[in-house]
Amino acid sequence: MSNHNTVTTNENNEVKEQEVCSTPTMEELRKDSKDGVISFGEVFKKNPTGDQAEGKTEEGFQPISPEDMDAYTPDPEQSALEQFGDGVLKDKLTIKPVPLKKQDLYNADDLVKLSMGRPGYLQMLAKRYQEKPSRLSTGIPDLDEITGGGWVTNGMSVVAAAPNVGKTTILMQSACAMAQQGTAVVFITNDMRKVDLEAKVISQISYSLIGKNCLTISDITNHNALLVDDVHTREIARRLEKTMKYLHIRDLISDEEFDKECDNDVLLSDKDKLTRIFLKYTTVYEKVIFIVDSLQQVASYISYGKEGVDSILRTFKEMSAVAPVVMVSTLNRTGYSKQGEINFADLKESGAVEYNADLIVTMIPKFAIEPDADMDLKTFKTQAEREIVISCKKSRDSGEKSVAMTLYAPGCTFVKYNDDGIDHPSSAPVVKKKTGKKTVSPFMPTMNISGWNVANE
């Protein structure tokens, strides 16, 4: 260790004597270092000088290896702290930095462990793809066909259309079909209320059971149809209990049951409702998908306009890395009354939606693409059977494809398009006799309609 001299100045602030700080030995520097690697910061802390008092910090300096440090020698003639470049002089210690790429901070074998060429990586990928395929079936065969297999499992899917075309209906139909197959489905709404969506589900079940004469939403919500104790309502109740255990509808406006459940959870009590929903279900279910109705409405839960959409898209993008997210998106004013196919520019907040979504599906009345002199939008909304063209506009796994489907509005259900009209489900269910054998009953169909596989339940 070198001696210390006192630094003094005269009236003109000229240095008369200067303290020479001792240069630490390599052993001293390595003693507090991590894995034998010495950083500039450690040298700085061991040898504070006037440079530190002037606001100099260790920020920005690279770590150096012990081998490089051994080559450095004190230079008592230079005391200023120079910029990183030709060299850094710190506390009389001349340090000639080595570019980071030449520093032996990592072993090449360690980096191989992060590559695709590491041993057993192909088997690990195979298991990952088996556990989480890139697509999750929508439960609606025609929709699976045009999307390349279903909803994206590691990203965001968007369904866009004008009002009254069937966005919510087709997504609820898909939700019921996925829940029926054992996938937990969380339908998040800031648009329709929870009770109205539940009525839509019941109407879909009713249609799958008895076809054209099913219970409508009005029957359910306005005419007390569910209070009638008959074979049909009992079969609806049985079907709900048997197949809808994995369907959850969460209302961002009013959802007292869920709020109460979360208030009793110390981990969620201080979180906002959207975060509560996401954390609760991803913690409980390994296989879960979130459906959001709608993007713009839920965005207003945070902030209105473009700012809200950008913010909620970032949130959903992060969520989609853990569980798939499907969103409803509305169109801008131009897209509402457009004749012809929907393009990205017709989406509301189109830029943000186009760039963030991994899959984009559009829906438009068939008459808007194939003009019909007897049909306009007003007349279309009054029809029980509405012909819709559903198109995949963006997908990693398929080209642009379209399919025509028919929405049977009274039963809230999409079915295969047929030029001759809808082939409604027949009333032919299965019930058990005392013998345990199955026989035909008038309240269970024998066919599979757009996601409802109900023949043998």
Q: Where are the domains of the chain?
A: 8-102, 134-416
Residue-wise pLDDT for 80-120, tens only, equals 333 333 444 344 344 444 444 445 556 777 778 888 888 88
- Decide: residue 61, CB within 10 A, 0-12 exposed, 13-18 middle, 19+ buried: middle
Mean pLDDT, the chain, whole residue set: 75
Mean predicted confidence (pLDDT) in 126-146: 89
* pLDDT > 50? residue 370: yes
Render pLDDT for 220-256 as a digit per residue (tens, 0 to 9): 999 999 999 999 999 999 999 988 999 999 999 888 8
CA distance 411 to 211: 8
311-362: per-residue pLDDT in tens?
A: 888 889 999 999 999 999 988 877 766 677 888 888 877 678 888 899 999 9
pLDDT tens-digit map of 259-303: 888 887 777 766 788 888 999 999 999 999 999 998 888 887 666
Indicate whether 446 pLDDT > 90: no
Residue 7 clears pLDDT 70, i.e. is over it: no
Q: How far apart are CA 295 and CA 318, in angstroms?
A: 15
pLDDT (0 to 100) of residue 67: 53
Which residue has better confidence, 135 or 78? 135
The set of residues, in sequence order, having a beta carbon less than 8 Å from that of 368 and lying 6+ positions away, is 338, 339, 340
CB count within 10 Å of CB 3 equals: 7
**What is 134-416's CATH topology?**
Rossmann fold (3.40.50)
Contact partners, residue 347, CB within 8 Å, separation at least 6: 158, 160, 329, 331, 332, 335, 353, 354, 360
Using CA atoms, how far apart are residues 137 and 145, in angstroms rounded to an integer? 10
User: What is d(CA 301, CA 293) in angstroms, rounded to the nearest whole number?
Assistant: 12
pLDDT at residue number 64? 47
Confidence of residue 164 (pLDDT cuts 50, 70, 90): confident
Q: Is 63 a residue whose pLDDT tops 90?
A: no
Q: Whole-model pTM?
A: 0.68
Q: Is 388 left (phi over 0), alpha (psi -120 to 50) or beta?
A: beta
Share of the chain residues as helix, strand and coil, in percent rounded to the nearest 5: 35, 20, 45
Strands 359-365 and 156-161, sheet pairing: parallel
Higher-pLDDT residue of 388, 6: 388
User: What is the average pLDDT across 133-160?
Assistant: 93
pLDDT at 60 over 90: no
